[in-house]
């Protein structure tokens, strides 16, 4: 149950900070959870970020009724995880109904929450196990080879890590694993592997990652006893470890981490807004005093000057060849010097 009264108090407090308010709208495929909930408030130098994970359109409408005229940017998860969930257009239209006068499509962004989770997990693993892909004998075991688990397995493999993946449907597991091994970097000799069972996976790995969407904890004490050299557990799917599993892990100094996506979320929001405000404006071609300039990745014609920003030229990088590459590179020389 969402506390709408507290939501109103919180958002009005945020408004007094004079930061831009970002509101995120997402959902989850985790089974067993049916109640919508508000996400934690995250603060940066420029933004206050919070949102809703929803399970039905009524909950979204109730929250939008409270925040529609107070938020500055809206980020909507474009990955549909629940069959009857409203689509992006329906959500945007509801904002429009509530506030036609202030409605501006440019304030809406879409993002992929699953990809955000994969990036956060990959970054965590890289920092937690410095150089874990080069030299150390770490073996990764991923429980749950769905959207998140399979993408993470591919990232680990392409960094040079040895990785096993498991899911309950063995036929689907074989298909997913075959596909991953077909699209992975061909110069990486290691293959993404399939264990005989979930017990076999735990025996083989010393870093255990749960990406399961099961509504019941699956990593138990009995399962953890299969591996005597387990370094840590990363719980991506949330609440994947049973009570006896947690007690066993604590007694045996096995660390358990719950994935935090805060940094990835903040970076994504800042980069999307920056791209819209600054980068898009640089993309194009402009003629000044019979000289043509291009910037921002715009494909220039032959002998167009490739510059840093057609609206405020400071650096000239070279001459375009008319085919999407440089005819001649100048380095980063100034306009005045050129």
Label each residue of 283-318 as H, E or C.
CEEEEECCEEEEECCCCCCCCCEEECCCCCCCEEEE
216: phi then psi, degrees, rounded to nearest 5: -120, 140
Nearest 5 degrees, angle CA 48-CA 236-CA 7? 30
So what's the pLDDT on residue 10?
Answer: 86
Cite the DSSP H helix spans in the chain: 4-16, 57-67, 88-98, 113-128, 147-158, 170-183, 198-204, 221-224, 243-251, 262-274, 280-282
Q: Is 208 helix (H, G, I), strand (E, B) or coil?
A: strand
Average pLDDT over residues 303-323: 94
Quick check: 36 pLDDT over 90? no
pTM for the model stands at 0.84
pLDDT digits (tens, 9 = 90+) for 73-131: 999 998 876 666 778 888 888 888 877 776 777 689 999 999 999 999 999 998 887 65
Compute CA distances 306 → 82, 312, 329, 338, whole Å.
46, 13, 9, 12
* Widest CA span in the chain: 76
pLDDT at 75: 94
Tokens 């990835």 locate to 264
Distance CA 180, CA 146 (A): 12
Confidence band, pLDDT 50/70/90 cuts, at residue 37: confident
Tokens of 323: 């085919």
Beta bridge partners of 292: 287
Mean pLDDT score across all residues of the chain: 88
Tell me the three state secondary structure of residue 221. Answer: helix
Tens digit of pLDDT for each residue in 227-242?
888 999 999 988 899 9
Tokens encoding 20: 């831009």
152, 221 in Cβ contact below 8 A?
no
Which has the minimum average pLDDT: 56-65, 146-155, 244-253?
Answer: 56-65
Per-residue pLDDT, 337: 83
Q: Is 204 exposed, middle or buried (0-12, 13-18, 19+ CB in 10 A)?
A: middle
pLDDT at 312: 92
Residue 144 buriedness (CB in 10 A; 0-12 / 13-18 / 19+): buried
């Amino acid at each position: 149950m969402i506390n709408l009264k507290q939501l109103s108090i919180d958002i009005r407090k945020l408004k007094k900070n004079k930061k831009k308010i970002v509101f995120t709208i997402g959902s989850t495929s985790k089974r067993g959870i049916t109640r919508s909930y508000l996400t934690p408030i995250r603060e940066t130098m420029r933004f206050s970020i919070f949102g809703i994970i929803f399970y039905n359109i009524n909950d979204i409408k109730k929250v939008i009724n409270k925040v529609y005229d107070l938020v500055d940017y809206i980020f909507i998860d474009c990955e549909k995880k629940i069959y009857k969930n409203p689509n992006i257009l329906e959500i945007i239209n509801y904002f429009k109904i509530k506030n036609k006068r202030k409605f501006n499509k440019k304030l809406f962004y879409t993002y992929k929450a699953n990809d955000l989770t994969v990036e956060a997990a990959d970054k965590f693993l890289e920092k937690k196990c410095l150089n874990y892909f080069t030299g150390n004998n770490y073996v990764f075991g991923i429980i749950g080879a769905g959207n998140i688990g399979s993408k993470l397995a591919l990232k680990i493999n392409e960094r040079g890590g040895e990785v096993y993946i498991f899911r309950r449907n063995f036929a689907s597991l074989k298909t997913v694993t075959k596909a991953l091994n077909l699209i992975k970097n061909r110069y990486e000799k290691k293959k993404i592997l399939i264990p005989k069972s979930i017990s076999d996976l735990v025996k083989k790995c010393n870093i255990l990652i749960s990406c399961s969407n099961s509504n019941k904890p699956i990593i138990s004490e009995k399962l953890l006893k299969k591996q005597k050299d387990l370094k840590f557990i990363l719980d991506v799917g949330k609440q994947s470890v049973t009570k006896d599993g947690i007690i066993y892990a604590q007694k045996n100094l096995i660390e358990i981490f719950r994935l935090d996506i805060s940094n990835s979320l903040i970076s994504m929001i800042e980069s999307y807004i920056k791209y819209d405000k600054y980068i898009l404006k640089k993309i194009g071609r402009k003629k000044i005093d019979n000289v043509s300039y291009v910037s921002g990745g715009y494909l220039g014609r032959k002998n167009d000057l490739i510059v840093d920003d057609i609206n405020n030229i400071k650096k000239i990088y070279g001459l375009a060849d008319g085919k999407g590459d440089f005819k001649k590179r100048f380095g980063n020389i100034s306009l005045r010097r050129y």
